[in-house]
């Protein structure tokens, strides 16, 4: 029997995902028309012998419960949300809920740190777990990155023949390895012994007032900083190299990039989620496009590629949408153009408006390049060109242009805006 644990963080996390995470928890943000963690749940539910999915995070239960109920109904698997009383770190939260995870005595469990997106994980798992399980305490999924970008991730050094991890370091200052951690782990239950030792050491330090954890909770333990480095080189940690597409979803800008890849995956996994033309009176589609069935699209509109349209959205005559996500109940009035942008829930774009952003997709000419997550501002204090994002209930007046602009929720704009953040 297998279990999966998905670490979803909490409201204090995902700040770089603002303003999209201001009104909806980041794990529930729809990518390719489906909440982000539903993609993970779906991948897990497809695994043979997987009996339970545990979501661990510190969002208030009220924000997550409806989603959990929906998922239970959709996928025939037990799903529970375990709310941390405070941020405990990746290892700390696993340890805190160890009884829940151990319950039923699973052979192994998966961990997903929410920021990741994955592809066909189940295939890999089936082949790999049996091979490593006898000896391995943890298997970590790695992928190639560029030398420069590897510094932003957990770096893994392996023995090429045995795949054993000989060294692990989180976000090093200098180059260590181009094999980086994807944030997908497979643990055997022995891991709790190892986390437990660290936990006890920390508790003792805490009560002796040797507070090595700063202001953080005594139980705050990070897998990546405290557990993996000590496991590496002991023969208990292995790495599996994933050659498929993988990306983090850290900044709002990466949502469009992720959207494109999930839409592409739908061609194989969920062709029914891609919009197919129904004939007479239909709008023009340039694949791939996802349209929620409750959205209303004028026949003269042209959508795609890489467009997701949420429920209740209204798209008027002569509208053009490309490389964008339109969230629930937004209205795009006639003749407008939306490019490389995310339109928030219930926002309204007036007619002949132009809403345009600048994509920051990985450099296609660099092998293994990952999505860049540039900071909002460059070293001169100027806003880096980004995708354009409208928070929820933003009104864009007719005939204006929004270029590389981020608008926080509930704003009624009155003019054209370029390269600005509107509070």
Q: Cβ closer to another protein: 114 or 402?
A: 402
Neighbouring CB atoms inside 10 A of 187's CB total 25
Least Å from the CB of residue 47 to another protein: 43
Least Å from the CB of residue 335 to another protein: 4
C-alpha closest to that of 393 among 337, 333, 348, 339: 348
358, 374 contact by CB (below 8 A): no
416, 402 contact by CB (below 8 A): yes
Q: Cβ closer to another protein: 335 or 348?
A: 335
Q: Cβ closer to another protein: 50 or 402?
A: 402
Q: Cβ closer to another protein: 282 or 399?
A: 399
Q: Cβ closer to another protein: 196 or 317?
A: 317
- As beta bridge partners, residue 290 has 308
Q: Cβ closer to another protein: 145 or 289?
A: 289
Least Å from the CB of residue 402 to another protein: 11
Least Å from the CB of residue 333 to another protein: 12
Residue with tokens 């704003």: 411
Residues lying near another protein in the complex (CB under 8 A) are found at 317-318, 320, 322, 334-335, 337, 339, 352, 354, 356, 399, 401, 403, 418
- What is d(CA 25, CA 155) in angstroms, rounded to the nearest whole number? 29
Half-sphere exposure at residue 276, Cβ-oriented, CA atoms within 13 angstroms:
6
- What is d(CA 43, CA 60) in angstroms, rounded to the nearest whole number? 25
Q: Cβ closer to another protein: 157 or 401?
A: 401
Omega into 19 within 30° of 0, i.e. cis?
Answer: yes
Q: Cβ closer to another protein: 258 or 301?
A: 301
Least Å from the CB of residue 236 to another protein: 53
Sign of CA dihedral 386, 388, 390, 394: positive
Element of type H or E holding 101 = helix 98-102
Least Å from the CB of residue 390 to another protein: 18
Least Å from the CB of residue 413 to another protein: 16
Ramachandran sector of residue 405 (left: φ over 0; alpha: ψ -120 to 50; beta: rest)? beta
Q: Cβ closer to another protein: 131 or 418?
A: 418
Least Å from the CB of residue 289 to another protein: 17
Residues in the chain: 423
Cα torsion 86, 70, 308, 409 to 10°: value is -50
What is the DSSP code (8-state) at residue 384?
P
Q: Compute CA 152 distance to the chain's CA centroid, rounded to the nearest angstrom.
A: 16
Least Å from the CB of residue 339 to another protein: 7
- As beta bridge partners, residue 279 has none
């Amino acid at each position: 029997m297998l279990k999966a644990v998905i670490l979803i963080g909490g409201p204090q996390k995902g700040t770089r995902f603002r303003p999209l995470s201001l009104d909806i928890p980041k794990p529930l943000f729809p990518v390719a028309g489906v909440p982000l963690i539903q993609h993970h749940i779906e991948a897990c539910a497809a695994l043979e012998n997987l009996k339970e999915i545990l979501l661990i995070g510190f969002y208030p239960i009220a924000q997550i419960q409806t989603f959990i109920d929906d998922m239970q109904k959709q996928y025939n698997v037990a799903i529970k949300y375990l709310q941390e009383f405070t941020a405990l770190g990746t290892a700390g939260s696993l340890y805190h809920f160890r009884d829940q995870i151990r319950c039923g005595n699973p052979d192994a469990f998966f961990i997903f740190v929410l920021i990741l997106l994955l592809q066909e994980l189940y295939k890999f798992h089936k082949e790999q777990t049996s091979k490593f399980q006898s000896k391995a305490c943890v298997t970590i999924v790695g992928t190639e990155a560029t030398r420069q970008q590897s510094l932003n991730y957990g770096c893994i050094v392996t023995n090429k023949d045995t795949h054993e991890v000989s060294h692990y370091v989180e976000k090093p200052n200098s180059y260590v390895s181009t094999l980086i951690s994807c944030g997908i782990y497979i643990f055997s239950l022995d891991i709790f012994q190892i986390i437990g030792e660290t936990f006890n050491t920390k508790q003792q330090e805490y009560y002796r007032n040797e507070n090595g954890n700063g202001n953080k909770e005594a139980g705050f333990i990070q897998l990546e900083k405290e557990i993996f480095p000590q496991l590496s080189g002991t023969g208990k940690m292995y790495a599996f190299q994933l050659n498929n597409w993988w990306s983090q979803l850290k900044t709002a800008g990466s949502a469009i990039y992720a959207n494109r890849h999930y839409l592409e995956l739908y061609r194989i996994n969920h062709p029914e989620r891609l919009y197919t033309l129904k004939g007479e009176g239909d709008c023009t589609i340039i694949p791939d496009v996802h349209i929620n069935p409750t959205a209303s699209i004028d026949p003269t509109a042209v959508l795609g590629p890489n467009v997701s349209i949420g429920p209740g959205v209204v798209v008027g005559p002569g509208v053009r949408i490309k490389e964008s996500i339109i969230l629930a109940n937004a209205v795009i009035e006639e003749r407008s153009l939306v490019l490389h942008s995310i339109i928030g829930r219930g926002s309204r774009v007036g007619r002949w408006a132009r809403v345009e952003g600048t994509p920051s997709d990985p450099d296609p000419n660099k092998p293994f390049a990952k999505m860049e997550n540039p900071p909002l501002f460059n070293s001169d204090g100027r806003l880096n060109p980004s995708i354009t994002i409208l928070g929820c209930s933003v009104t864009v007046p007719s005939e204006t242009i929004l270029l590389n602009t981020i608008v926080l929720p509930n704003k009624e704009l009155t003019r054209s805006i370029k390269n600005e953040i509107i509070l």
